[in-house]
Amino acid sequence: MKYIEVKMKTSQENLDPLTCILMDMGIAGFTVEDPQDFQALMEKKNSYDWDYIDESLMNYDSMEAGLTFYLEDTEEGRDTLNQLNVPEVKLSWTVVDDSDWKDNWKEYFKPAKLTDRIVIKPSWEDYTAGQDELVIEIDPGMAFGTGTHPTTSLCIKLLEKYITPGVDSIIDVGCGSGILSIAAALLGAKDIAAVDIDPVAVEVTKENVELNGVSSKVRVYEGDLTKGLNERADIVVANLMADLVMMLSKDVAVHLTGKAIYISSGILIEKKQTVVEAIEACGFQIIEILEEGEWCAIAARYC
Protein backbone atom coordinates (compact mmCIF):
# COMPACT_ATOMS: atom_id res chain seq x y z
CA MET A 1 0.00 0.00 0.00
CA LYS A 2 1.22 3.52 -0.77
CA TYR A 3 1.40 6.31 1.80
CA ILE A 4 2.32 9.97 1.83
CA GLU A 5 5.16 10.55 4.30
CA VAL A 6 4.80 14.09 5.61
CA LYS A 7 7.57 15.91 7.49
CA MET A 8 6.94 19.22 9.25
CA LYS A 9 9.91 21.15 10.62
CA THR A 10 9.34 24.00 13.04
CA SER A 11 10.67 25.68 16.17
CA GLN A 12 10.61 23.82 19.45
CA GLU A 13 8.02 26.18 20.96
CA ASN A 14 5.67 25.48 18.05
CA LEU A 15 5.57 21.70 18.60
CA ASP A 16 2.65 21.67 21.05
CA PRO A 17 0.42 24.04 18.99
CA LEU A 18 1.28 22.02 15.87
CA THR A 19 0.25 18.72 17.48
CA CYS A 20 -3.08 20.33 18.48
CA ILE A 21 -3.68 21.47 14.89
CA LEU A 22 -2.99 17.98 13.55
CA MET A 23 -5.23 16.31 16.10
CA ASP A 24 -8.04 18.74 15.25
CA MET A 25 -7.63 17.58 11.65
CA GLY A 26 -8.02 13.97 12.75
CA ILE A 27 -4.30 13.13 12.49
CA ALA A 28 -3.50 11.41 15.77
CA GLY A 29 -0.58 9.15 14.87
CA PHE A 30 2.73 10.96 14.45
CA THR A 31 6.28 10.94 15.73
CA VAL A 32 7.76 14.00 17.42
CA GLU A 33 11.40 15.00 17.18
CA ASP A 34 12.08 17.25 20.15
CA PRO A 35 15.71 18.13 21.02
CA GLN A 36 14.65 18.53 24.66
CA ASP A 37 13.69 14.85 24.79
CA PHE A 38 17.17 13.87 23.67
CA GLN A 39 18.72 16.28 26.15
CA ALA A 40 16.73 14.65 28.96
CA LEU A 41 17.83 11.23 27.74
CA MET A 42 21.49 12.25 27.73
CA GLU A 43 21.23 13.58 31.29
CA LYS A 44 20.52 9.98 32.41
CA LYS A 45 18.57 10.71 35.59
CA ASN A 46 18.59 7.01 36.54
CA SER A 47 21.73 4.89 36.29
CA TYR A 48 19.74 2.14 34.57
CA ASP A 49 18.26 4.37 31.84
CA TRP A 50 20.79 3.10 29.30
CA ASP A 51 24.21 1.43 29.06
CA TYR A 52 24.98 2.11 25.41
CA ILE A 53 23.85 4.87 23.09
CA ASP A 54 24.47 5.52 19.40
CA GLU A 55 26.99 8.31 18.87
CA SER A 56 24.66 10.02 16.38
CA LEU A 57 22.36 10.95 19.29
CA MET A 58 25.14 13.01 20.81
CA ASN A 59 24.47 15.69 18.17
CA TYR A 60 21.01 16.60 19.42
CA ASP A 61 22.04 20.28 19.68
CA SER A 62 21.85 20.52 15.88
CA MET A 63 18.56 18.63 15.66
CA GLU A 64 15.63 20.47 14.08
CA ALA A 65 12.31 20.10 15.90
CA GLY A 66 9.50 18.60 13.91
CA LEU A 67 6.82 15.97 13.30
CA THR A 68 6.45 13.07 10.90
CA PHE A 69 3.21 11.31 10.01
CA TYR A 70 1.64 9.30 7.20
CA LEU A 71 -1.47 9.75 5.09
CA GLU A 72 -2.95 7.16 2.75
CA ASP A 73 -2.11 8.01 -0.85
CA THR A 74 -5.73 8.54 -1.79
CA GLU A 75 -7.81 11.51 -2.90
CA GLU A 76 -8.83 12.06 0.73
CA GLY A 77 -5.22 11.87 1.90
CA ARG A 78 -4.08 14.41 -0.70
CA ASP A 79 -6.95 16.72 0.25
CA THR A 80 -5.71 16.60 3.84
CA LEU A 81 -2.17 17.32 2.64
CA ASN A 82 -3.40 20.39 0.73
CA GLN A 83 -4.97 21.73 3.93
CA LEU A 84 -1.63 21.72 5.76
CA ASN A 85 -0.84 25.38 5.28
CA VAL A 86 0.58 26.17 8.72
CA PRO A 87 2.60 29.38 9.37
CA GLU A 88 6.25 29.01 10.45
CA VAL A 89 6.37 25.36 9.38
CA LYS A 90 8.59 23.91 6.67
CA LEU A 91 6.59 21.18 4.95
CA SER A 92 7.94 18.35 2.79
CA TRP A 93 6.37 15.12 1.62
CA THR A 94 7.04 12.04 -0.48
CA VAL A 95 5.12 8.92 -1.51
CA VAL A 96 6.37 5.66 0.01
CA ASP A 97 5.30 2.03 -0.33
CA ASP A 98 4.99 0.08 2.93
CA SER A 99 6.45 -2.96 1.16
CA ASP A 100 9.73 -1.02 1.08
CA TRP A 101 10.11 -1.26 4.84
CA LYS A 102 7.39 -3.33 6.54
CA ASP A 103 8.97 -6.76 6.08
CA ASN A 104 12.48 -5.88 4.86
CA TRP A 105 13.99 -6.76 8.25
CA LYS A 106 12.95 -10.36 7.69
CA GLU A 107 15.56 -10.66 4.92
CA TYR A 108 18.29 -10.46 7.56
CA PHE A 109 16.83 -12.98 10.03
CA LYS A 110 17.99 -16.42 8.95
CA PRO A 111 18.42 -19.68 10.91
CA ALA A 112 21.42 -19.34 13.22
CA LYS A 113 23.21 -21.80 15.48
CA LEU A 114 23.66 -20.09 18.84
CA THR A 115 25.35 -22.95 20.73
CA ASP A 116 26.44 -26.54 20.08
CA ARG A 117 22.79 -27.63 20.33
CA ILE A 118 20.50 -24.62 20.05
CA VAL A 119 19.42 -23.28 16.67
CA ILE A 120 17.07 -20.33 16.29
CA LYS A 121 14.99 -19.90 13.18
CA PRO A 122 12.25 -17.49 12.10
CA SER A 123 8.80 -18.95 11.64
CA TRP A 124 8.85 -18.17 7.90
CA GLU A 125 12.09 -20.08 7.18
CA ASP A 126 12.52 -23.84 6.62
CA TYR A 127 15.24 -25.68 8.52
CA THR A 128 16.10 -29.35 8.93
CA ALA A 129 17.57 -30.02 12.37
CA GLY A 130 20.81 -31.92 12.55
CA GLN A 131 21.56 -34.67 15.03
CA ASP A 132 21.17 -33.47 18.64
CA GLU A 133 20.10 -29.98 17.50
CA LEU A 134 17.23 -28.24 19.30
CA VAL A 135 15.39 -25.72 17.14
CA ILE A 136 13.64 -22.64 18.53
CA GLU A 137 11.10 -21.22 16.12
CA ILE A 138 10.39 -17.59 16.82
CA ASP A 139 8.47 -14.69 15.37
CA PRO A 140 9.79 -11.68 17.27
CA GLY A 141 7.72 -9.06 15.45
CA MET A 142 9.25 -5.69 14.71
CA ALA A 143 9.28 -4.69 18.40
CA PHE A 144 11.71 -7.39 19.62
CA GLY A 145 15.13 -8.70 18.69
CA THR A 146 15.71 -11.93 16.83
CA GLY A 147 17.57 -13.64 19.68
CA THR A 148 20.92 -13.65 17.87
CA HIS A 149 22.45 -10.81 19.90
CA PRO A 150 25.52 -11.85 21.95
CA THR A 151 23.72 -11.17 25.23
CA THR A 152 21.13 -13.80 24.32
CA SER A 153 23.52 -16.39 22.93
CA LEU A 154 25.77 -16.05 26.01
CA CYS A 155 22.77 -16.71 28.28
CA ILE A 156 21.79 -19.76 26.26
CA LYS A 157 25.34 -21.13 26.41
CA LEU A 158 25.23 -20.89 30.19
CA LEU A 159 21.75 -22.43 30.36
CA GLU A 160 22.97 -25.27 28.16
CA LYS A 161 25.80 -25.92 30.61
CA TYR A 162 23.93 -25.61 33.90
CA ILE A 163 20.59 -27.26 33.06
CA THR A 164 21.64 -30.73 34.13
CA PRO A 165 19.61 -33.72 35.38
CA GLY A 166 17.79 -32.63 38.52
CA VAL A 167 17.70 -28.96 37.47
CA ASP A 168 14.00 -28.60 36.71
CA SER A 169 12.86 -25.06 37.54
CA ILE A 170 13.86 -21.76 35.93
CA ILE A 171 12.83 -18.12 36.39
CA ASP A 172 13.39 -15.97 33.29
CA VAL A 173 13.39 -12.32 34.40
CA GLY A 174 12.71 -9.86 31.56
CA CYS A 175 11.65 -12.60 29.14
CA GLY A 176 11.19 -10.34 26.08
CA SER A 177 10.24 -12.62 23.19
CA GLY A 178 10.55 -15.72 25.41
CA ILE A 179 13.61 -17.22 23.74
CA LEU A 180 15.44 -18.05 27.00
CA SER A 181 12.35 -19.71 28.48
CA ILE A 182 11.86 -21.77 25.33
CA ALA A 183 15.56 -22.74 25.29
CA ALA A 184 15.33 -23.81 28.94
CA ALA A 185 12.30 -25.99 28.17
CA LEU A 186 13.99 -27.64 25.19
CA LEU A 187 17.11 -28.25 27.29
CA GLY A 188 15.10 -30.22 29.82
CA ALA A 189 13.73 -27.81 32.43
CA LYS A 190 10.19 -28.79 33.40
CA ASP A 191 8.89 -25.66 35.17
CA ILE A 192 9.74 -22.20 33.83
CA ALA A 193 8.32 -18.91 35.09
CA ALA A 194 8.78 -16.13 32.49
CA VAL A 195 8.19 -12.56 33.68
CA ASP A 196 8.35 -9.18 31.94
CA ILE A 197 7.14 -5.68 32.85
CA ASP A 198 5.99 -5.05 29.27
CA PRO A 199 2.52 -6.46 28.52
CA VAL A 200 3.41 -6.70 24.82
CA ALA A 201 6.43 -8.85 25.71
CA VAL A 202 4.18 -11.07 27.80
CA GLU A 203 1.84 -11.64 24.84
CA VAL A 204 4.73 -12.24 22.42
CA THR A 205 6.28 -14.75 24.84
CA LYS A 206 2.96 -16.58 25.15
CA GLU A 207 2.67 -16.78 21.36
CA ASN A 208 6.23 -18.07 20.92
CA VAL A 209 5.86 -20.56 23.76
CA GLU A 210 2.75 -21.92 22.04
CA LEU A 211 4.52 -21.93 18.67
CA ASN A 212 7.29 -24.13 20.10
CA GLY A 213 4.95 -26.54 21.88
CA VAL A 214 6.25 -25.85 25.40
CA SER A 215 3.15 -24.28 26.96
CA SER A 216 2.95 -27.10 29.51
CA LYS A 217 6.37 -26.11 30.85
CA VAL A 218 6.32 -22.29 30.68
CA ARG A 219 4.10 -19.96 32.71
CA VAL A 220 4.19 -16.30 31.68
CA TYR A 221 3.59 -13.35 34.03
CA GLU A 222 3.50 -9.58 33.76
CA GLY A 223 5.60 -8.07 36.54
CA ASP A 224 8.50 -5.85 37.59
CA LEU A 225 11.62 -8.00 38.00
CA THR A 226 10.74 -10.37 40.87
CA LYS A 227 8.50 -8.00 42.84
CA GLY A 228 5.41 -9.87 43.94
CA LEU A 229 6.65 -13.04 42.27
CA ASN A 230 6.19 -16.00 44.60
CA GLU A 231 8.50 -18.39 42.79
CA ARG A 232 11.62 -20.38 43.66
CA ALA A 233 13.86 -22.03 41.10
CA ASP A 234 17.09 -23.91 40.50
CA ILE A 235 18.24 -21.22 38.06
CA VAL A 236 17.33 -17.55 37.69
CA VAL A 237 18.33 -16.07 34.34
CA ALA A 238 18.16 -12.33 33.62
CA ASN A 239 19.20 -10.79 30.30
CA LEU A 240 18.74 -7.14 31.26
CA MET A 241 21.44 -4.48 31.57
CA ALA A 242 24.16 -3.84 34.12
CA ASP A 243 22.30 -1.58 36.55
CA LEU A 244 19.14 -3.68 36.48
CA VAL A 245 21.20 -6.82 37.07
CA MET A 246 22.73 -5.19 40.14
CA MET A 247 19.27 -4.18 41.41
CA LEU A 248 17.94 -7.68 40.86
CA SER A 249 20.93 -9.26 42.62
CA LYS A 250 19.80 -7.84 45.96
CA ASP A 251 16.57 -9.88 45.90
CA VAL A 252 17.27 -12.86 43.67
CA ALA A 253 18.59 -15.17 46.42
CA VAL A 254 15.11 -15.56 47.95
CA HIS A 255 13.94 -17.01 44.64
CA LEU A 256 16.67 -19.66 44.49
CA THR A 257 16.44 -23.18 45.87
CA GLY A 258 19.55 -23.95 47.90
CA LYS A 259 22.90 -23.29 46.22
CA ALA A 260 21.37 -22.63 42.83
CA ILE A 261 22.64 -20.68 39.81
CA TYR A 262 22.10 -17.02 38.94
CA ILE A 263 22.82 -16.21 35.27
CA SER A 264 22.91 -12.55 34.23
CA SER A 265 23.66 -10.88 30.91
CA GLY A 266 23.16 -7.63 29.01
CA ILE A 267 26.36 -6.39 30.67
CA LEU A 268 28.96 -4.33 28.83
CA ILE A 269 32.48 -5.61 29.49
CA GLU A 270 33.48 -2.16 30.72
CA LYS A 271 30.95 -2.64 33.56
CA LYS A 272 31.86 -6.26 34.26
CA GLN A 273 33.92 -5.66 37.42
CA THR A 274 31.29 -3.35 38.92
CA VAL A 275 28.57 -5.95 38.36
CA VAL A 276 30.77 -8.77 39.68
CA GLU A 277 31.41 -6.86 42.90
CA ALA A 278 27.70 -6.09 43.31
CA ILE A 279 26.75 -9.76 42.80
CA GLU A 280 29.43 -10.94 45.23
CA ALA A 281 28.26 -8.40 47.81
CA CYS A 282 24.86 -10.12 47.73
CA GLY A 283 26.33 -13.44 48.85
CA PHE A 284 27.14 -15.04 45.49
CA GLN A 285 30.30 -16.72 44.27
CA ILE A 286 31.19 -16.05 40.62
CA ILE A 287 31.74 -19.38 38.89
CA GLU A 288 32.03 -18.36 35.23
CA ILE A 289 32.09 -15.32 32.95
CA LEU A 290 31.61 -15.58 29.19
CA GLU A 291 32.47 -12.76 26.80
CA GLU A 292 31.56 -11.99 23.20
CA GLY A 293 32.34 -8.72 21.49
CA GLU A 294 31.68 -5.92 23.98
CA TRP A 295 29.25 -7.98 26.10
CA CYS A 296 29.57 -10.51 28.91
CA ALA A 297 27.37 -12.91 30.87
CA ILE A 298 27.98 -14.01 34.45
CA ALA A 299 27.12 -17.28 36.18
CA ALA A 300 27.12 -17.16 39.98
CA ARG A 301 26.21 -19.59 42.78
CA TYR A 302 24.60 -18.54 46.05
CA CYS A 303 26.90 -19.38 48.95
pLDDT of 51: 57
Give the CATH number for residue 270.
3.40.50.150
pLDDT of 18: 86
For 96, the domain range is: 2-100
pLDDT of 142: 46
pLDDT of 300: 97
DSSP notation for 174-236: S-TTSHHHHHHHHTT-SEEEEEES-HHHHHHHHHHHHHTT-TTTEEEEE-STTTT----EEEE
Picking from 100, 118, 133, the residue at the C-terminal end of a domain is 100
pLDDT of 164: 93
pLDDT of 160: 95
10-residue mean pLDDT profile of the chain (303 residues): values are 87 84 82 72 58 56 80 88 84 80 66 89 85 86 67 95 93 93 96 93 92 96 81 93 91 88 95 96 96 95 89
Give the CATH number for residue 6.
3.30.70.330
On whether residue 38 sits in a domain, the answer given is: yes
Enumerate long-range contacts of 251-259, CB under 8 Å, 24 or more apart. 251/225, 251/226, 252/226, 252/282, 253/282, 253/283, 253/284, 253/302, 255/171, 255/226, 255/229, 255/231, 256/232, 256/302, 257/169, 257/232, 257/233, 258/302, 259/301, 259/302, 259/303
Picking from 67, 100, 133, the residue at the C-terminal end of a domain is 100
pLDDT of 202: 92
